[in-house]
Amino acid sequence: MEQKNTRRVRYSGKYPKKFEEKYKERNPDKYADTVAHVIEKGSTPAGMHLSIMVKEIIEFLQIKPGQKGLDATLGFGGHTQAMLKCLEGEGHICGLDVDPIESEKTKQRLRDRGFGEELLTVKLINFANIDQVAEEMGKFDFVLADLGVSSMQIDNPERGFSYKVEGPLDLRMNPNKGDSAAKRLLQVTREELVGMLEENADEPFAKEIAEEVFRARKNGQRIETTTQLRNIIEKSLAFLPEKERKEMIKKSCQRTFQALRIDVNSEFEVLYAFLEKLPGVLAPNGRAAILTFHSGEDRLVKNAFKQGKNEGIYSEVSSDVIRPSAEECGRNGRAKSTKMRWAIRM
């Protein structure tokens, strides 16, 4: 039988809107011009992640050929690639990630760019377990942790990280482990949900949102998709004046999804463990840089570094946060909330 040629499904309008339609953006090596155009407009191409504060990180870490480093949050691999270039073919970097889907893509991407096993090791492991990595590989001259969620995860509706598109309410960094956000909403008490929203995201309407969630549960409604949760948040804030309601709903959606993501992935507990073990994996005079994206994370890092300095563990720590330049924020809107802190091992 003669095989028929199948054409790619056409999208309506001039530009594709859905993630699955943006095949050019998701293939940057083949469609470099399209990707460059999207970035030039101040957007992040679908399926990509624009690494933040690369210049500032490289300047601080002062990487030299022959050194050994750890990227505790591999992600798309942009920071890792920049650090590998500094090694000039001598030394080694270990990259950690808990996302089995994206870490495999990143490893292959870096392999294709010439960074083989002699220069780069990728491990599917949570960065709370950096002590186990150091036991195997020895102490590190430099460590980087970027605590932000990668754009590849946010943009892919199947991962359920964004309230803006329909998808399963998942929010797990590793979709093969633990409970999804939808399941967590079935498990928590009203008081636990209020606390989660307040502590993880400083949500001012935590009680109203929790009340609406439990009203839906009482009526037998399952909250299984991102859209269903967004609709509940909209309903809970219906009492707000119309002129400010739209913006407040947007911000509460962002905060609610953040709070759930932090809870589902035990992000604060993981960060506590990482900060506690960090001095033990750094070589003498080793340097560590951490990027945070909300006040809760930054507070933990600031306090840990300050305490380490007072106890003589660190010889120097950043006296204040370092922020991305206005130029970078204009080029990448997701950089605006970034804060960088650093410490140097005694």
Note whether residue 43 is domain-resident: no
| Lowest mean per-residue pLDDT among 218-222, 234-238, 246-250, 251-255 | 218-222
In this predicted structure, what is the pLDDT of residue 334? 83
149 pLDDT exceeds 90? no
In this predicted structure, what is the pLDDT of residue 331? 86
CA angle 300–135–114, rounded 5-degree value: 90
What residue numbers bound the domain in which 142 lies? 54-151+268-345
DSSP state of 322: B
Of 296, 326, 290, which is closest to residue 202 (Cα–Cα)?
Answer: 296
Residues 138, 272: one domain?
yes
CA distance 20 to 26: 9
Residues 188, 253: one domain?
yes
Residue-by-residue DSSP string for 159-216: G---TTS--BS---SSTTSS--HHHHHHH--HHHHHHHHHHHH--TTHHHHHHHHHHH
CATH number for the domain harbouring residue 230 = 1.10.150
264, 299, 324 - which closes a domain = 264
Note whether residue 32 is domain-resident: no
Note whether residue 27 is domain-resident: no
196 pLDDT exceeds 90? yes
CA angle 84–87–91, rounded 5-degree value: 100
Q: Which residue has the higher pLDDT, 159 or 151?
A: 159
9 pLDDT exceeds 70? no
Residues 144, 276: one domain?
yes
In this predicted structure, what is the pLDDT of residue 299? 95
What is the count of structural domains for the chain?
A: 2
Note whether residue 39 is domain-resident: no
Q: Which two tokens stand for residue 180?
A: 């999804």
Residues 279, 147: one domain?
yes
In this predicted structure, what is the pLDDT of residue 3? 46
Note whether residue 272 is domain-resident: yes
Mean pLDDT of the chain: 89
Mention every residue, 6+ apart, whose C-beta is less than 8 A from residue 259.
Answer: 196, 197, 199, 200, 201, 203
Give 226's pLDDT tier (boundaries 50, 70, 90): very high
Residues 293, 336: one domain?
yes
In this predicted structure, what is the pLDDT of residue 1? 45
Of 69, 121, 107, 111, which is closest to residue 91 (Cα–Cα)?
Answer: 69
The residue count for the chain: 346
Q: Which residue has the higher pLDDT, 281 or 32?
A: 281
Are residues 321 and 280 in contact, defined by beta-carbon separation less than 8 angstroms?
no
207, 232, 264 - which closes a domain = 264
| pLDDT average, residue stretch 157-170 | 91
Note whether residue 158 is domain-resident: no
Residues 208, 257: one domain?
yes
Residues 140, 88: one domain?
yes
CA angle 238–244–245, rounded 5-degree value: 25
Q: Which residue has the higher pLDDT, 88 or 149?
A: 88
pLDDT digits (tens, 9 = 90+) for 87-116: 999 999 999 999 988 899 999 999 999 999
Residues 179, 134: one domain?
no
Residues 114, 67: one domain?
yes
CA distance 150 to 111: 20
Note whether residue 2 is domain-resident: no
Note whether residue 140 is domain-resident: yes
Residues 102, 125: one domain?
yes
264, 285, 302 - which closes a domain = 264
Residues 284, 246: one domain?
no
b/e map 66-77, b = 16+ CB within 10 Å: ebbbbbbbbbbb
Residues 109, 189: one domain?
no
pLDDT digits (tens, 9 = 90+) for 16-70: 555 555 556 556 665 556 645 554 555 555 555 589 999 999 999 999 999 999 9
CATH number for the domain harbouring residue 299 = 3.40.50.150
Record the pTM.
0.84
Q: Which residue has the higher pLDDT, 25 or 290?
A: 290
